[in-house]
Structure 1
Amino acid sequence: MTRPATFALPGDITTLTGGYLYDHQLVQALRDQGRSMQVLQLPDSFPTPDAADMAQAVDQLSALPADQPVIIDGLAFGALQTEALASVRAPIVAMIHHPLAQESALPAELADHLLRTERANLTLARHVLVPSPHTRDMLIERYDVAADRITIARPGTKARQHPQVPKADPAMILSVGILHPRKGHDVLVQALGMLGDLEWQAQIVGNPWDDAHVGQLCDRIARSAMGDRITLAGRVSDGRLQNLYGQASVFALATRYEGYGIVFDEALSHGLPIVSTTAGAVPGTVPADAGLLVPPDDAGALSDALRRMLTDAPFHKARVKAAQQAGAALPSWDDTARIVARVLDSVMDAPA
């Protein structure tokens, strides 16, 4: 009989971003393995809650029983008041997708506050879960977390029948990622603007982060000489997304930082060669023979990589084969859940 546990996170667990997708799939896989998992929805204003939302989150966590562990998603964990977190009776496991202070475009004062808060809060966690070696190394080097307190639980891939759809003509470049400055969609649009002599089309899929940034992307596309070939699709249904993966010939994401990047595994599972950046965990997630990685914020290098994928047929074919092989070897969410289940049980068996 497995012990019950709680997963606490801000907002709706079905939100369409990589971190929430991870949390949702993990909870479902743990339930499928027979573990009772309660989802505790904290206020969605984290990581910058007002006083009322902070108090509500503290009250919710403080009400959890002392004999059941709680996994707290990093979006809330790193921003909670340290003194209040110390009063939580439930054994705490932190889920750090990537540290809050490392988010791009943060005001310096906020980044400093989050760095200090997250560092202090990590001392209160019985154990820490991360999605990648990159995030583990960052917590060791920048946050002084002992290596033996961290477990890597790499994201799984969802078993599904990929739609048998023909490849788009002209070749489709697919980008998937929340419409947020960190994902570098602006750099991708700039890079695509340098490929006017080639035949291609592009789809950018992602949940809007805020209206202002979406407006900036729309304006950038409208001003691009290649704007009529670029579709900012925004949020789409899962069925539509699977069709786009099937129709695409290249996956591209000009990300400025990734703690892991679940979309890369999704692309590999569809046998798509990848053009991305060397930011964060990307080099450890994308096999070297399955794609091309360039420095972040280098639209020229990104454009050159896309050009080679579109024009060098033998090179593209070899990357497709490597992506297919890598995709076939990816872990399942059941594998991820087994790793997390061992952590939950060890936390309860170990002395406080």
Structure 2
Amino acid sequence: MKIGNVELKNKVFLSPMAGVTDLPFRLICKEQNCGMLYTEMINGKALCYDDENTKKMLKIEDEEHPVAVQIFGSDPEFMGRAAEIMNAYPNEILDINMGCPAPKVVKNGDGSALMRNPKLAEEVLKSVVKNSTKPVTLKIRKGWDDNSVNAVEIAKIAEASGISALAIHGRTREQYYSGKADWDIIAEIKNAINIPVIGNGDVFTVEDARNMLDKTGCDAIMIGRGAQGNPWIFKRINHYMETGEILPEPTLEEKINTAVKHLNLAVREHGEYVAVREMRKHIAWYLKGLKGSAKVRDEINKITSYEEVVSRLNEYMEDALTLV
């Protein structure tokens, strides 16, 4: 698969997620054969003001490629300048966020709020495309709410503005992540435009991925919540696409060892204090559904040292394996 001039090894991508898709998590997903990694969304205006915390989020390791950096904002001038700044970074793709439902984002007219103003959306798209030396992609939702479903209109504007590929999450902004993702809108967009279409929403299993491809005809799949605590989903979907065989679910040992590896990467990147706290949600995701894991999760939520977290995870694993 190609997006612009960028060759991709496979068509199963990691969705950008605020507070989740930082460098350590991306490296874990890359190990599991993720076709393209997306950073957390970057504030275009903050990038223009040379904000230090924003620049830290843009750290990309050699083994990550190909990488898409996602920027958000609704001021065409600032977004164009942000695109120009990103030309100096090593990411292959520049992505525009027009799907984030978070109140603190939409109150400024950014994220999915931009879909309510197609004319301004077009100005933002054209400004970014004009100033970027890299392929520019766009991520949208179905619309703001059920009374303003305009994803097809925005998709056509995007294609006409020079966007190289479009990702569509089959929910409205008002749905956030509730209810069911509408895959029919993905198929509608696939039939309406000629650039690659990336389907997003409710892919949690290998079967979900197969069904999305079959039902929508989309060119690639983007996985968000389905990858939380489950980076193996990329490897398992790709293996199924290549062989027709569904690999077994990861073992308890694989889950614990990966959680510890993820923690090590987080400590290296963020320092122990931040990493131990940031990893609590990831560890809860890794342990989800495992017998007796609620108690361990509660304990880990109170632990503040790296050694203690690792010790408690290993203790849990040994106990569980002994019972087997």
**What range describes the TM-score normalised by the shorter chain of this pair?**
0.3 to 0.5
TM-score for both structures, normalised by structure 1 = 0.35
TM-score for both structures, normalised by structure 2 = 0.38
Structure number, greater radius of gyration: 1
